Chains A and B, each alone.
Chain A
């Protein structure tokens, strides 16, 4: 398994999720900014797709029921863990 390939794919998820995070904070203090809500929704759209592709290759990013159906054997616990990437 090529860790650098995994890191590269994950980086794209990190980039778009960061857009969502930063807009989330902005919207917490500017709840009426409709344009920003729109930008947030655009990021959500792209993020959904990127996460789907990443998780298909490398397993779930979320657990406790939020990562969708699991395969057997259980993929959530499989490495590498984020500080090892």
Chain B
């Protein structure tokens, strides 16, 4: 079960609104390598993990990713604070204004809506943990792109925290993959959701 803690994991700050940058940041809300993809991927994969520790890792990182999604939402909210339709047009984000007003929605930086095709769960723990490691790298790279694309030191600091977390998550998934492989190779453990014969 989930409970909501009424705070951000880390402060979210901007120096001033920047609708153009918001259009880029939104990719970490509803894009292929964003926080919604990450959280749903991990929270869904945990049901087919073989060990308690793997279930814990996927639950906890999946939960943290929801907190990150919240930070991105807050970042976009602050970057578009007080923006009028003219600001959205000037930023080339008039589609966003038209369809959502000052509301948020899940899309990538090109307006492509979020899809479950961004995530997978093959039910094989090695496959799934390998996907998770790749996902963390893709998210890390995307944050590097975003950090480079702004001069706002406050926005950079917020994004830098999220970048750091991707590095740590990658480490944790690597450790989990290691442990799960060891567990599966021990002859007394047979992990096949269904028999292969």
- Chain A 58-74 interface residues, beta-carbon cutoff 8 Å to B: 60-64, 66
- Chain B 56-75 interface residues, beta-carbon cutoff 8 Å to A: 56-57, 60-61, 64, 70, 73-74
Measured as residues with beta carbon below 8 angstroms from the partner, the interface class of chain A is: 20 to 34
Number of interface residues of B (CB under 8 A): 27
Given contacts A14-B11, A83-B70, contact A29 B6 (CB under 8 A): no
B7 touches A82 (CB 8 A): yes
- The segment from B24-32, B91-99, B150-158, B172-180 that touches chain A is B172-180
Given contacts A21-B64, A82-B74, A83-B12, contact A29 B53 (CB under 8 A): yes
Identify A62's interface contact among B6, B9, B53, B73, CB under 8 A.
B6
Mark each residue of chain A from 32 to 60: 1 if its CB lies under 8 Å from any CB of chain B, else 0. 00000000000000000000000000001
B interface residue numbers (CB < 8 A to A): 3-12, 53, 56-57, 60-61, 64, 70, 73-74, 77-78, 168-169, 172, 175-176, 179
